[in-house]
Amino acid sequence: MLKFNNDIIHGAIFDMDGTMFDTERLRFQTLKQASQELIGVSFSDAYLMACLGLSASSAHQLAKQQYGDDIPYAEIRQRADELELESVRSLGVPIKKGLVQVLERLRKSGLRMAVATSSRRLIAEEYLINANVYKFFDVLVCGDEVQKGKPHPEIFLSAAEKLNLPTSECLMFEDSENGITSAYNAGGVTILLQDIKEPNSNMLAKTDYFFESMYDCLHQLDQHTLNLEMPTLQESFPQSLNQLTVGIHGFGAIGGGFMAQILSHWDGYTRPKRIYASTHNSLYRSAVNAFGSYCIRYGQLSYDERIENMHIIDAGNIEQMQEMYIASSMIAVCLPEQAIATEARTIAQGLYARHIANNEQFTNPLTVLIILNKIGAKHLLLEHVHSALVEITAPDIAEQILEQHYFCDTVVNRMVSKLTDQNLYRQLRIKYNIFKQYQLDHDLDHADIEDATRLNPEQERLASMYVEEMCSNFKPSHILQNMDLILFHAEVDMPIYVENNSPLLGKMRQMVLVDDIREIQLIKNRLWNGVHAMTTWYATRLGYETIGLAMTDQKVRQFMEGLLEEVKVGLTLTLPHRKNDLDDLAKSFMNSCVNAYKDPCERVARDPLRKLTASERVFGSIACNIQHDGLPYQHLSQGAVFGYCYAIEQNAVSYDEALEHLEIQLAQSELNEQHQRCLQQHIEMHLAQLLPDKHKIHNSQSVPTPKQAEYNLT
């Protein structure tokens, strides 16, 4: 929060061109050159000045008025983009002096940050990444993502909405008349920074604060920002190496975005000499190995933490996987539940290979951290690994192998999201173009990229080419050393709770060792995982793509608050000695969700039927509250309904399959028959209300008896 004169400020929204970057002059030059090339006439300064702050469609209409209806505006703009990008890739983005200082000050004051630019996302992302300021912003709203461009207020209204803030609590930075009009009409606290155009009386009338330069703005901010306390240094990874090799079986969100950081800090004095990490994703594998490192982005702090000394191996290459299991002292198994059955074979082969490599002597035990979002994770993993072991060795040997090693259950209270292949592809493309410009070679043509989860064949070919060429040209002190690859978005540091079952764990810095992990697992499963899933099922139904954006909706926020309260009262009766912990964890969880702008709902909402099993996070909480007479469960039962809706609408589960699943899970629960029947009727009734079309199809498949028909009507 920032008290800026008489305004209480919680957010800042920046225009890009002309405000953060001195690109308006560059854009004038490129548009003049492009128009001269294509129509033989350079755009006039008067026309270009009139276009400042306009959307592409509005500028097109103005061009028609001045240069005729047949003007090839789209081609001129595309050529200007090419010329501008050539300049930016060669010379870098011309940043306004004082910008980074202003961004740093606003971020450290606790403000949420957004960019609202008329530029297309393709251009905006490249500029922000090139200028190394993308990390300061939670939200990016671009001209090709709104219906009405500036001076209409839509783009600022959209940015404030995504930040979950009223516009009156947002500083809005602009440089043009159309831009300041847009910010003014949006109801923001307007800040005008002088650029090309001298401000006129109309602009100043809509401006709360006018500064001739970013440094003037910085000076004003300096009067209103608090003096910071004694600093705590951003603690780097230990510089010295120990003699240990460790592994991560599953280079996903938790494996790459959390465990890699924990293993790199180790005990604070040393770090492992080598960290293996396995993945089936060839793009991630080749990219990390080419760059030699990658980064985890902590958006709340605008901080990127670099992970080095990682060796990414092919999860499908059994020889490489066996090497990891033979060489490692500790392995973190970071796998989704649905992958356990298949990956257990690889784990079994790795453990058996380790047994053979040690001359079949039961020495040198391995510590296995089981990182799975599930109560009873260790039992599940050991069951599958044991079955796989007895297929390749004698049962007694299989038993002895499992008994030799330390298997430790864990609980992770940290939200991490992995970037999609498309996001990684965009990074590679941008960095490759910078690299090629550095090499004074030709530039690459590129097309707009849709943010999907998979690459098309041409993108896969180009991505491989990017990685190969960059890798082959990488040398010490080369430009690529400063081209960090962002792979994961994470929240600020949180501990990992680990079952105290191995002597190797004693000095691990971020591990909280507990003798009975089941209590922590129960709390995590119901208070975090369950509420998280139910909220995203609801949010997805409302059309939200990320958790942070969903939390801007008061309905979603109130639903989550209701869920947390219902889960807390049930857990308090079950674990009365954890009451204070429950309050703290609930607050921490809510805060994490509010700031999870980069965490897709799809990541958390996936596999709903598994999460709706009898003993799992949803029905476990419902059964707990029903069995304690008088405890509320309205929000929880509604959450179950949203889960079945998600399964039907997003996972192609039929209505009949959903009802059958519900009936089976309730039959397997600890509820008595009366409670089962009431809960089933309640869920089915609300499901029919939310999916009336599916319900009609369901009813048409079996003609109801008069008695059944009467019940359906009631």
The single-letter DSSP state of residue 478 is: -
Q: What is the pLDDT of residue 210?
A: 96
- Listed as own residue / partner, the contacts of 566-570 with beta carbons closer than 8 Å and 24 or more positions apart are 566/621, 566/625, 566/631, 566/632, 566/633, 566/634, 566/635, 566/636, 567/526, 567/527, 567/530, 567/531, 567/621, 567/636, 568/527, 569/625, 569/631, 569/632, 570/526, 570/621, 570/624, 570/625, 570/628, 570/631
In angstroms, the CA 713 to CA 696 distance is 12
Q: What is the pLDDT of residue 436?
A: 67
Q: What is the pLDDT of residue 478?
A: 40
Give the residues of the chain that fall short of pLDDT 70. Answer: 53, 55, 230, 232-234, 434-454, 470-483, 493, 700-714
3-state secondary structure of 90: helix
Cβ-contact 75, 38 below 8 angstroms: yes
Q: What is the pLDDT of residue 714?
A: 21
91-115: burial string, b at 16+ Cβ within 10 Å, e else? eebbbbebbbebbebbbebebbbbb
Angle of CA points 103, 185, 28, to nearest 5°: 60
Residue 198 gets the label, from left (phi > 0), alpha (psi -120 to 50) or beta, of: beta
Half-sphere exposure of 339 (CA within 13 A, CB side): 16
Q: What is the pLDDT of residue 458?
A: 84
Q: What is the pLDDT of residue 581?
A: 83
In angstroms, the CA 637 to CA 643 distance is 10
Task: Look at strands 245-249 and 330-334 and give their pairing.
Answer: parallel
Angle of CA points 88, 94, 100, to nearest 5°: 125
Q: What is the pLDDT of residue 616?
A: 86
The single-letter DSSP state of residue 406 is: E
Q: What is the pLDDT of residue 169?
A: 97
Is the omega angle on the peptide bond into residue 151 within 30 degrees of 0, that is, cis? yes
687: its two tokens: 């499901």
Cα radius of gyration (the chain): 28
Q: What is the pLDDT of residue 471?
A: 62
Cβ-contact 300, 595 below 8 angstroms: yes
Q: What is the pLDDT of residue 426?
A: 79
